[in-house]
C-alpha cells in the first residue's frame, strides 16, 4: 500500500502543454508556488527547529577549530627583523640599490 500526497496527485492534473507556453518568469513563479505548497507544513513551528542566533565575528572565530589551529601557534613569536634575513641578503644584489647622490629636500 503506497500513500501519495496531494502534491503528487495534483501533479499530473496541473501539468499540461499550456504551462510550457508561458514566459519564463511565469513558469518560475508557478513552479515556486507548487514547490512551496508541497513542502509547506502549516503545523510546524520553525523557531523551535532552528532558532535565530545573533553571534559576533569574534565569538565565531574563538570557537572555530580551524582558526585556532592556524593562529594559535603564533602568539609568542618575536617580530621578524628583515634586515638580518637570508632572503634580504639574496635580494639586495639583484635589486642593485645605490645610495642617493643628491639629498632629498622637503619644502
**pLDDT value of residue 86:** 92
Q: Is it the case that residue 41 has pLDDT exceeding 60?
A: yes
Bigger pLDDT: 102 or 2?
102
* Alpha helices in the chain, H assignment, sequence order: 6-14, 17-20, 24-39, 46-49, 57-63, 65-71, 86-95
Residue-wise pLDDT for 67-103, tens only, equals 888 877 766 677 788 888 998 999 988 888 887 777 7
pLDDT (average), residues 44-48: 67
Q: Is it the case that residue 19 has pLDDT exceeding 70?
A: no
Amino acid at each position: 500500500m503506497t500513500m501519495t500526497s496531494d502534491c503528487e496527485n495534483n501533479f499530473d492534473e496541473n501539468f499540461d502543454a499550456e504551462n510550457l507556453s508561458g514566459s519564463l518568469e511565469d513558469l518560475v513563479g508557478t513552479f515556486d508556488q507548487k514547490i512551496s505548497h508541497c513542502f509547506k507544513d502549516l503545523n510546524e513551528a520553525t523557531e523551535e527547529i532552528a532558532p535565530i542566533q545573533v553571534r559576533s565575528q569574534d565569538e565565531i572565530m574563538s570557537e572555530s577549530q580551524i582558526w585556532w589551529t592556524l593562529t594559535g601557534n603564533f602568539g609568542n613569536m618575536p617580530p621578524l627583523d628583515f634586515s638580518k634575513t637570508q632572503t634580504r641578503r639574496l635580494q639586495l644584489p639583484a635589486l642593485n640599490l645605490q645610495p642617493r647622490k643628491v639629498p632629498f629636500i622637503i619644502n
